[in-house]
Amino acid sequence: MSRPELQAPPEIYYGDIEAKKYTNNSRIQQIQADMTYRALELLNLPSDQSAFLLDVGCGSGLSGEILDEQGHVWVGVDVAPSMLEVALDREVEGDLFLQDIGQGFGFRPGSFDGAISVSVIQWLLNAETSHPTSSPPHRLTRFFTTLHAALRNPSRAVLQFYPTSDDQIQLITSIAQKAGFGGGVVVDYPNSNKARKVFLCLFVGGGGSTQQIPKGLEAEEDVGQVHARFEASRQRQRKRDKNGKRKSIKDKDWILRKKELYRRRGKEDVPRDSKYTGRKRKTVF
């Protein structure tokens, strides 16, 4: 299937059904959470202080929940009413706005300590009508100039997005620079198809060299560390034993884990654990 942003505009694509699906999917929740933590890390806010943040394309508040958890006060904007409805149901703490980011923000200058956005700005790259204000460069310009105005000096905006080509990255960064932002693109896990994530890390002010573009994460150094993100599948890579044969996935640990899971879910007739659990049968029968 093609990318969601090519199928319909966001406010239509994320209708009631898709909004619920999106919010309840545990895999999406996990990815969103990982990316929000990473975005917060890139924002580099002073620790132990609650900041006033803007969540661009907040959706159902998946990333907002993490901002709450970290003690920040936030404002979320999204263009899909169904997503906002789900956010209301989930009783998130932030203020929500129904707003098209391509039309620009109306926030007073210097309002926010930072902005994050997870998986949003690729939606600005499609023209919905032939009106001049709906062309991607115009919408991007509007978005970046008003965002730049709404942020404090110095501060940062970290926007994760899914580009389809390098041309798109080029277009977005050049418009962001024209709007007055410094900074650039940070790519995490550049050599992995699945775990690769592109963050646009933008700086407002900061006086020349004080703000450095952070480095993207690399797969090798991070495997096994707490900080490894998007890498769950890699870590699960089948470990081969000495003889080069694949180890059975359904080993004793796996069985015990499954049984524990069933018990927690209240399933009846889960066999009890014993020394025979998951033991290999003798080859002679």
Site residues, other proteins (CB under 8 A): 49-50, 52, 71, 73, 75, 77, 79, 81, 84-85, 88, 93-100, 103-108, 110-111, 129, 131, 133-134, 142, 146
Cβ atoms within 10 Å of 176's Cβ, excluding its own = 26
When the beta carbons of 72 and 197 are compared against other proteins, the nearer one is: 72
In whole angstroms, the minimum distance from the beta carbon of 150 to other proteins comes to 8
Strand ranges, E, within 151-231: 151-161, 182-188, 197-204
Using alpha carbons, select from 78, 73, 87 the residue that is nearest to residue 56.
78
CB 179 within 8 A of CB 144: yes
**Measuring CA to CA, how many Å separate 221 from each of 42, 117, 231, 232?**
18, 26, 12, 14
How far apart CA 43 and CA 242 sit, in angstroms, is 44
In whole angstroms, the minimum distance from the beta carbon of 125 to other proteins comes to 17
When the beta carbons of 31 and 40 are compared against other proteins, the nearer one is: 40
In whole angstroms, the minimum distance from the beta carbon of 274 to other proteins comes to 49
CA dihedral (171, 177, 181, 187) in degrees, to 10, reads 40
In whole angstroms, the minimum distance from the beta carbon of 29 to other proteins comes to 22
CB 116 within 8 A of CB 151: no
In whole angstroms, the minimum distance from the beta carbon of 78 to other proteins comes to 9
Helices assigned H by DSSP within 118-251: 136-150, 166-178, 219-222, 232-235
Task: Classify residue 72 as exposed, middle or buried by CB count within 10 Å of its CB (0-12, 13-18, 19+).
Answer: buried
Question: Two tokens at 222?
Answer: 């991070």
When the beta carbons of 87 and 198 are compared against other proteins, the nearer one is: 87
Beta-bridged to residue 159, according to DSSP, are: 117, 200
DSSP-assigned letter for residue 284: -
In whole angstroms, the minimum distance from the beta carbon of 278 to other proteins comes to 48
When the beta carbons of 144 and 199 are compared against other proteins, the nearer one is: 144
When the beta carbons of 83 and 198 are compared against other proteins, the nearer one is: 83
When the beta carbons of 52 and 254 are compared against other proteins, the nearer one is: 52
Question: Two tokens at 136?
Answer: 């991607």
User: Which residue type does 263 have?
Assistant: R
Place of tokens 């942003």: 5
When the beta carbons of 105 and 230 are compared against other proteins, the nearer one is: 105
In whole angstroms, the minimum distance from the beta carbon of 71 to other proteins comes to 8
When the beta carbons of 126 and 192 are compared against other proteins, the nearer one is: 126
In whole angstroms, the minimum distance from the beta carbon of 30 to other proteins comes to 27
Dmax over CA atoms of the chain, in Å, equals 80
